[in-house]
Homo-oligomer: A and B are copies of this chain.
Amino acid sequence: MSKDTLPFDWKAIRRDVLEQIQSGQWKPGDKIPREIELAAHYDCTRSTVGRALRDLATAGFLERRRKGGTIVAANPTRKAPLEVPILREAIRAAGSEPGYRLLQAGPERAPEEIAAKLGLPPGGELLHVLALYLADGAAHQIEDRWLVPAMVRGLDPDHLRSQPVDEWLLHNAPLTRAKIEIEAIALPAGLAHHFDQPAQSPSLLVTRVSWRQSKPIGLLRLYHAAGQRLKTGI
């Protein structure tokens, strides 16, 4: 452990403990000193040590149990945060000029598969929205959305000509829970012409089903232009 006697705030303690782990001084499965002992070592109170260790536990580096003490996690499965952004904002953040074109918006009988994923009985009508997002004028993503009417009351389909539906949803029907799936597909011919790319091009499809509490809001299928990548990191 560091022998510095400089001021140890909780971030410094976190850094120091993480260093013990990543340098291999404390190995996976090892029990580390008790909070009180670390507090004495760092010359601070147990609360301050506790905050540092709690943070490392949340990040997956430590496992803590009452009476059992704190051990270095055996399998520190890291999590990479995958952003679920506002579509136009994501394009702008990537340094491109965002564009948006509504292709279609209106009630439609839900395909059985869609209804099933939303946990709804088949045969009902949903609001079907189809829109194109552009980056610097080139087709970038196609949004295929099925929304539960009762959950999006006040949404005027005409209004979607100028404002993307995700921006309306953000302020009017925020989700509390979502399931996300990422898969590779061959670009369907019906969509490929929007992208000005050959049909069957391998491309990413992100499917998201969202709920508010336990009530389904809708299902989104976001088709990406071929070659587009999702990026994240640790």
Closest residue on chain B to residue A85 by CB atoms: B77
Contacts A176-B22, A177-B234: A182 and B229 contacting too (C-beta < 8 A)? yes
State in angstroms the CA–CA spacing of A234 and B210 once bound together. Answer: 9
A83 within 8 A of B: yes
Q: Assess the A179–B86 pair: CB atoms within 8 A.
A: no
B contact residues around A232 at 8 Å (CB): 82, 180, 182
Q: Assess the B84–A82 pair: CB atoms within 8 A.
A: no
Closest residue on chain B to residue A234 by CB atoms: B178
Q: Which of A6-14, A38-46, A138-146, A167-175 contacts B (4 or more CB under 8 A)?
A: A167-175
Assembly of this chain: how many copies?
2
* Binding site secondary structure of chain A: strand
Interface membership of chain A positions 218-234, coded 1 if the CB is closer than 8 angstroms to chain B and 0 otherwise: 00000010111111111
Closest residue on chain B to residue A29 by CB atoms: B171
Q: Assess the A203–B202 pair: CB atoms within 8 A.
A: yes
B contact residues around A227 at 8 Å (CB): 183
State in angstroms the CA–CA spacing of A43 and B28 once bound together. Answer: 42
A80 within 8 A of B: yes
Q: Assess the A180–B81 pair: CB atoms within 8 A.
A: no
B contact residues around A82 at 8 Å (CB): 79-82, 232
B78, B175, B231: the one contacting A84 at CB < 8 Å is B78
A196 within 8 A of B: no
Interface membership of chain A positions 93-122, coded 1 if the CB is closer than 8 angstroms to chain B and 0 otherwise: 000000000000000000000000000000
Q: Assess the A185–B170 pair: CB atoms within 8 A.
A: no
B contact residues around A229 at 8 Å (CB): 181-183
Q: What are 21 residue pairs bridging A and B, where the CB atoms are less than 8 Å apart in the complex?
A: A27-B171, A75-B170, A76-B170, A77-B84, A77-B85, A77-B89, A78-B83, A78-B84, A78-B178, A80-B178, A178-B233, A178-B234, A179-B231, A180-B232, A181-B230, A182-B182, A182-B204, A183-B228, A184-B184, A184-B185, A184-B224
Q: Given contacts A22-B174, A28-B171, list 7 more A-B pairs with CB under 8 A.
A: A22-B176, A77-B85, A178-B234, A180-B231, A183-B204, A184-B184, A184-B202
